[in-house]
């Protein structure tokens, strides 16, 4: 995540809670959870007298309301208060919708306004029965539904709050010998800060003094502490362990890793989904259908029955058809999915690309640094006349003094096998060949396999076979010799990651075939592909050819490409789903659709599984939210009246709210998806 562009970070501050431009939440622009809660409670308390004085309730429960002068006006007056106090939110929403596309707020407003105006007209002399108790209970249930909705959306959006909590507010700045506590916004790049044991790291920086360990679980999901010493990077929000560290500030404000993660999470939660567009269209048509069916219901029932019954049916149709569940169906899945992804170190930059996960057939990987560790390791040791440990002890003694990158692989192998290094005198490097020195009074040389051949040293048949085998696998070979013969050969290769083996199996289980792209020779590519069980691989690929290969794979089916470097950027853009791994380079991140915080290829499989699960939930929610109306609207219109079954507006509101609850619960079950 190193030096990401701050193109969008500047906008980060401006659109933090502004949901108006984003699908799904715009109906609640300017509304708060507390407002719905307070209006619900006040309206509910004011509704009790309305129910008490309602003639319907008196008839059902067989009681007589206590009369007092003006008691006839209790219901109309309280209904007016509830309509304007509790219902005004919906009327404002409808007014906003009228300027764009009509939807949920329009239907609710129509329903409550029809019931309200008709009931007032009855109060002032029109013949019929008022709808006061239906009106107030309808508003109560609507307020409750919206309160629950906002609570669930906010609950799922907590990922951002949790990340924000990781931001400490002050830092200990070192000025000469003095320590001063300063707010974070006063820190500048290059400042020296002190991080005491157990404290959260306040800013991104580079350790200049001290040794400690830091828990970076929030960033990588890895619970084991990471050692921090001079030259290592520390990131905002990580928790310092047992030692005090002095660090130089490298990134401040919006540029810190944590701020950038917060920006990516927020962008993903606010980003439009293609399903959201579908849901919005469905909500629009549902609104038009509801108004049409409502009008038709009114005309039919007024000719068959009376005005009271006709208005009751019309109001119920308008209420039950509210595309409330539709409005929630997609945003809730998005916020839940994004929160789970962030928790697993998967940052979604492009929502639409993430949703393409369900169509992915091929996963192409850049080999070096993704499927392999990007550093050499000793694969095999071939010896002649001495033990492997002794060969390693002599080679390490010489190579530990060498600067060559392959030398480090031999030193590392000796450390892993706990081999004690021998003591060298008269060490010298021979340019282009290797190194030599005297160990236990005898001259030993370590270097290219051509060196002993040039010196005319003996190569045993066993070593010759080993050399041929190593070369056929594309491995690099280092030879160890004494004064007259070759003693050992070390075959070195870029180490395959253990997690890459699991990845290929994990992808196969979800029907995705892995492909490998590398600039290495065919022999190297073949060895790694065989080791990993990858059937398709492309060797000697130039950076510009990666795009061509991704295009070829795309022609056969959806393709995901995973890379970490600058030369991967064009291929990341070309793929249906571009994944930057290990937080990659700046360019890779800006070109990718998904950013994996950890350097773990297994996360590609996890991301695809989560993408598929998110898709399924969206489709299920859409089907439910639209499908239930097929039964609900005709029932509300009174088609079952001949069977003696009629839905009142309040019961219609309960069914509509239940539909919303089902959609919300279904979105929450996303949290139970097994990603491993």
User: 461-468: which pairs have CB atoms within 8 A and are 24 or more residues apart?
Assistant: 462/382, 462/384, 463/382, 463/384, 463/488, 463/489, 465/382, 466/380, 466/382, 466/491, 467/382
Per-residue pLDDT band for 25 (boundaries 50, 70, 90) equals very low
Per the listing, tokens 């310092």 go with 240
pLDDT per residue over 395-408, tens digit each?
Answer: 888 888 776 767 77
- Judged against a pLDDT cut of 60, whether residue 14 lies above it is answered with no
d(CA 636, CA 319): 9
Mean pLDDT over each residue of the chain, to the nearest integer: 79
Continuous segment of H or E residues that includes residue 195: strand 192-195
pLDDT for residue 567: 65
Contact between 434 and 447 under an 8 Å Cβ cutoff? The reply is: yes
- pTM, two decimal places: 0.63
Per the listing, tokens 């160990």 go with 439
The conformation of residue 370, written as its DSSP 8-state character, comes to I
Q: Which residues contact 346 (CB under 8 A, 6 or more apart)?
A: 594, 595, 596, 597, 603, 606, 607, 610
Pairing mode of beta strands 245-251, 192-195: antiparallel
pLDDT for residue 76: 92
The average pLDDT across 415-441 equals: 81
* Residue 469: burial class (beta carbons within 10 Å; 0-12, 13-18, 19+): middle
Q: What is the CATH number of domain 374-495?
A: 3.40.1110.10
Domain locations in the chain as residue ranges? 337-372+496-608, 374-495
Per-residue pLDDT band for 80 (boundaries 50, 70, 90) equals very high
CA distances from 77 to 74, 301, 375 (A): 5, 29, 79
Give counts: helices (H), strands (E), the chain: 25, 22
d(CA 49, CA 40): 15
CATH 3.50.7.10, applies to 337-372+496-608: no
* Residue 432: burial class (beta carbons within 10 Å; 0-12, 13-18, 19+): exposed
Q: How many Cα atoms are found within 13 Å in the side-chain-facing hemisphere of 107?
A: 32
DSSP notation for 213-269 = EEE-HHHH---S-EEE-TT-EE-TT-EE-SS-EEEEEEE-GGGSHHHHHHHHHHHHH
pLDDT for residue 152: 60
Q: Considering only CA atoms, which of 544, 595, 548 is closest in space to residue 568?
A: 544
Q: Residue 517: what are its φ and ψ, rounded to 5°?
A: -120, 130
pLDDT per residue over 591-615, tens digit each?
Answer: 778 888 777 788 888 888 898 898 8
pLDDT per residue over 572-589, tens digit each?
Answer: 888 888 888 865 445 556
- Give the tokens for residue 99: 């300027």
Contact between 424 and 443 under an 8 Å Cβ cutoff? The reply is: no
The lowest-confidence range among 185-199, 224-238, 296-310, 563-577 is 563-577
Catalytic residue numbers, as ranges? 366
CA angle 293–294–299, rounded 5-degree value: 95
């Amino acid at each position: 995540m190193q030096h990401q562009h701050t193109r969008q970070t500047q906008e980060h501050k401006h659109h933090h809670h502004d949901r108006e431009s984003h699908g799904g939440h715009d109906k609640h622009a300017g509304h708060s959870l507390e407002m719905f809660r307070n209006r619900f409670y006040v309206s509910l308390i004011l509704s009790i007298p309305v129910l008490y004085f309602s003639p319907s309730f008196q008839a059902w429960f067989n009681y007589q309301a206590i009369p007092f002068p003006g008691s006839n006006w209790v219901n109309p007056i309280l209904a007016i208060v509830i309509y304007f106090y509790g219902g005004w939110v919906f009327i404002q929403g409808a007014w906003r919708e009228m300027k764009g596309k009509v939807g949920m707020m329009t239907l609710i407003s129509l329903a409550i306004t029809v019931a309200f105006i008709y009931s007032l007209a009855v109060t002032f002399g029109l013949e019929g029965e008022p709808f006061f108790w239906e009106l107030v209970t309808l508003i109560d249930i609507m307020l409750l539904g919206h309160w629950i909705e906002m609570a669930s959306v906010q609950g799922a959006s907590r990922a951002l709050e949790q990340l924000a909590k990781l931001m400490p507010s002050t830092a200990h700045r070192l000025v000469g010998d003095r320590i001063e506590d300063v707010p974070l916004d006063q820190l500048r790049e290059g400042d020296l800060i002190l991080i005491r044991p157990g404290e959260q790291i306040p800013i991104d920086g580079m350790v200049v003094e001290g040794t400690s360990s830091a828990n970076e679980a929030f960033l990588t999901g890895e619970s084991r502490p990471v050692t921090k010493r001079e030259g290592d990077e520390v990131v905002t929000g990580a928790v310092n362990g047992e030692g005090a560290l002095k660090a130089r500030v490298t990134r401040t404000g919006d540029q810190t890793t944590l701020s950038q993660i917060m920006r990516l999470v927020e962008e993903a939660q606010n980003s439009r989904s293609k399903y959201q567009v579908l849901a919005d269209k469905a909500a629009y048509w549902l609104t038009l259908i509801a108004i049409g069916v409502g009008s038709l219901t009114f005309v039919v029932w007024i000719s068959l029955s009376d005005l009271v019954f006709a208005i009751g049916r019309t109001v119920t149709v308008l209420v039950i058809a509210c595309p409330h569940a539709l409005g929630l169906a997609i945003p809730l899945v998005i916020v839940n999915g994004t929160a789970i992804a962030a928790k697993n170190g998967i940052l979604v930059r492009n929502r639409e690309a993430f949703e393409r996960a369900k169509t992915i057939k091929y996963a192409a990987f850049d080999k070096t640094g993704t499927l392999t560790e990007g550093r050499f390791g000793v694969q095999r040791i071939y010896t002649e006349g001495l033990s492997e440990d002794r060969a390693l002890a002599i080679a390490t003694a010489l190579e530990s003094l060498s600067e060559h990158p392959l030398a480090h692989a031999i030193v590392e192998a000796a450390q892993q096998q706990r081999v004690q290094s021998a003591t060298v005198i008269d060490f010298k490097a021979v340019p282009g060949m290797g190194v030599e020195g005297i160990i236990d009074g005898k001259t030993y040389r370590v270097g290219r396999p051509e060196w002993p051949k040039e010196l005319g040293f003996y190569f045993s048949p066993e070593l010759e076979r080993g050399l041929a085998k190593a070369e056929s696998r594309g491995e690099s070979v280092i030879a160890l010799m004494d004064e007259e013969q070759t003693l050992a050969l070390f075959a070195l290769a870029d180490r395959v990651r253990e997690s890459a083996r699991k990845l290929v199996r994990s992808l196969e289980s979800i029907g995705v075939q892995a492909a490998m792209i590398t600039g290495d020779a065919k022999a190297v590519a073949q060895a790694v592909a065989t080791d990993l069980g990858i059937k398709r691989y492309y060797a000697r690929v130039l950076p510009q050819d990666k795009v061509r290969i991704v295009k070829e794979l795309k022609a056969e089916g959806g393709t995901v490409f995973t890379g970490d470097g600058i030369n991967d950027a064009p291929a990341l853009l070309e793929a249906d789903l571009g994944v930057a791994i290990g937080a990659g380079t700046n360019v890779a991140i800006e070109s990718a659709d998904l950013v994996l915080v950890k350097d773990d290829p297994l996360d590609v499989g996890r991301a695809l599984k989560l993408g598929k699960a998110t898709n399924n939930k969206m489709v299920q929610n859409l089907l439910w939210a639209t499908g239930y109306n097929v039964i609900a609207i005709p029932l509300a219109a009174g088609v079952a009246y001949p069977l003696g079954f009629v839905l009142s507006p309040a019961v219609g509101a309960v069914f509509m709210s239940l539909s919303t609850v089902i959609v919300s619960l279904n979105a929450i079950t996303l949290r139970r998806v097994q990603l491993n």
